[in-house]
């Protein structure tokens, strides 16, 4: 934030409690950034595995960080990919997951995440992009803000490109698929679904091992 305050002509960060932010925004962030956020304990082995597979072929390295890890980095640490920072990130992630609720982690993330050039937090982004409070964001507007998160200094929700519009549609589809995981009943069904998927995956791996051993 200090760096952006020096570099940008305008710098905005407006704090907002989670209940002052439209429910659609945290749901869109979960659907886009970390679909297992409500069920993991700070780290997603599945996301790390997918990131590793992508990065073997990609020119640009992409991480598999959870929302918890991103919050730890944004609040306590500095940008970069060296081993010291990643180690401290893991340490702070564990502490946060032990001491904070998932809702608190979401609230902090939505107040410190960079959402545009010199724009930090949901309330500042909502006012900059749509001239309204974060509490009034629609599903489509929340998805549009979320669509810019991979590169908020390059992409704009106030003047979205065709690419960002495409990402917005993708985020909306993911929101539909994941559902309202902030609702306890929906979350319980989500947990059951993930557990069944994990059991099926283990069964497939066991069959594959038996087939390899027999051959």
Name the stretches of the chain with pLDDT < 70.
2, 5, 45-64, 215
Q: Residue 15: which of 129, 146, 110 has the closest Cα? A: 110
- Residue 215, domain member (yes or no): no
- Residue 135, domain member (yes or no): yes
Q: Residue 33: which of 162, 195, 145 has the closest Cα? A: 145
- Residue 50, domain member (yes or no): yes
- Residue 188, domain member (yes or no): no
- Residue 147, domain member (yes or no): yes
What is the structure's pLDDT at 143?
97
What count of other Cβ atoms lies within 10 Å of the Cβ of residue 48?
14
- Residue 18, domain member (yes or no): yes
pLDDT tens track for 9-59: 777 888 999 999 999 999 999 999 999 999 999 887 665 556 545 545 655
Structure tokens at 164: 């960002």
- Residue 142, domain member (yes or no): yes
Asked whether the beta carbons of 110 and 25 are under 8 A apart, the reply is yes
What is the structure's pLDDT at 84?
85
Q: Residue 125: which of 157, 153, 165, 150 has the closest Cα? A: 157
CATH of the domain at 64: 1.10.3810.10
Crossing angle of helices 83-99 and 67-76, rounded to 10°:
110
- Residue 72, domain member (yes or no): yes
Q: Where in the sequence is the domain holding 23, given as residue range(s)?
A: 2-182
What is the structure's pLDDT at 55?
47
What is the structure's pLDDT at 49?
58
What is the reported pTM? 0.82
Total domain count for the chain? 1
Strands 12-13 and 119-120: parallel
Contacts of 69 (CB under 8 A, 6+ apart): 42, 43, 89, 90, 93
């Amino acid at each position: 934030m200090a760096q952006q305050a020096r570099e940008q002509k305008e710098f905005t960060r407006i704090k907002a409690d989670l209940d002052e932010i439209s429910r659609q925004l945290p749901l869109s962030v979960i659907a886009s950034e970390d679909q297992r956020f409500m069920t993991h304990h700070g780290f997603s082995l599945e996301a790390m595995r997918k990131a590793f597979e992508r990065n073997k072929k990609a020119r640009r390295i992409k991480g598999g960080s959870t929302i918890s890890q991103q919050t730890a980095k944004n609040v306590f640490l500095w940008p970069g990919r060296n081993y010291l920072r990643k180690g401290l990130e893991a340490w702070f992630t564990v502490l946060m997951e032990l001491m904070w609720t998932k809702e608190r982690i979401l609230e902090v993330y939505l107040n410190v995440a960079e959402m545009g050039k010199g724009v930090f937090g949901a309330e500042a982004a909502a006012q900059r992009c749509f001239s309204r409070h974060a509490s009034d964001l629609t599903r489509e507007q929340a998805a549009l803000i979320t669509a810019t998160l991979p590169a908020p200094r390059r992409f704009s929700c106030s003047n979205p490109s065709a690419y960002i519009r495409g990402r917005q549609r993708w985020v909306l589809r993911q929101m539909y698929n994941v559902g309202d995981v902030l609702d306890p009943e929906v979350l319980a069904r989500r947990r059951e679904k993930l557990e069944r998927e994990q059991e099926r995956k283990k069964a497939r791996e066991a069959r594959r091992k038996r087939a390899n051993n027999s051959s």
